[in-house]
Amino acid sequence: MLLTPIALASKSPRRLELLRSLDLTVRLVDVTHSETIDPTWLPHDIPMNLARLKNQSARLLRNQEEVLLTADTIVLLEDKILHKPLDKADAIASLQKLSGQWHEVVTGVCMSAHHEVAFSVSTRVLMSELSLEAIRYYIETYHPYDKAGSYGIQEWIGWSHISRIEGSFSNVMGLPTSEVFEALRARVLF
């Protein structure tokens, strides 16, 4: 099945990997955009709003035959955002908060060609109890400094300490592939 090629405006290697796993032709677009969060936005709206702003910043970089795709992912614990960690201490603190808790991973996606389509997907995740030793091992081995909530579900911590998931696994990695594929397949954008 041949689908329209994608211009991906993202620095996330996981998003690139996920799109390529859908057998899509993907070209990376380098765009710098401020990820400043408007204090009036509700937590669940933040990823989609940021994805839209990134998309608007990158529109001129899209080739005519491509769909421009941007995304943003946040981790919410009791409606509070756990950002990408600033340093090791911040990563330890985030993982200690997530230990033994349900949390939510929300990814906002914006795709544009002739029209814009934007949506967000939410996945609930239960992380089992983490010892300080396990947290330190994970951080020192995997360096999760580019990951919202200080962890990657596709890494050791996901295989060893994620005990339940309700929703899309790929969404927790940073892109809800099924929803993206369906939007492209339905040719909603054209």
31 pLDDT band, cuts 50/70/90, is: confident
Is residue 42 classed as helix, strand or coil in its secondary structure? coil
Question: What's the average model confidence in pLDDT over 158-177?
Answer: 97
The one catalytic residue among 23, 38, 45, 72? 72
Quote the pTM value: 0.92
Please name the amino acid found at residue 75. V
Residue range of the domain that includes 44: 6-185
90 included as an active-site residue: no
What pLDDT is stored for residue 84 in this prediction? 93
Residue 118 has pLDDT above 90, yes or no: yes
Q: Containing H/E element for 162?
A: strand 162-166
Residue 153, pLDDT above cutoff 70 = yes
Q: pLDDT tens across 62-110, in order?
A: 999 999 999 999 999 999 999 999 999 999 999 999 999 999 999 999 9
68, 35 Cβ separation under 8 angstroms: no
Cβ 97 vs Cβ 78: under 8 Å: no
Structural domain total, the chain:
1
For residue 24, give the CATH number of its domain: 3.90.950.10
Query: For the chain, what is the mean pLDDT?
Result: 93
How do the residues of the chain divide into helix, strand and coil, expressed in percent and rounded to 5? 40, 25, 35
Asked whether residue 190 is domain-assigned, the answer is no
Question: Is the pLDDT assigned to residue 1 strictly greater than 90?
Answer: no
Residue 1 counted as domain residue: no
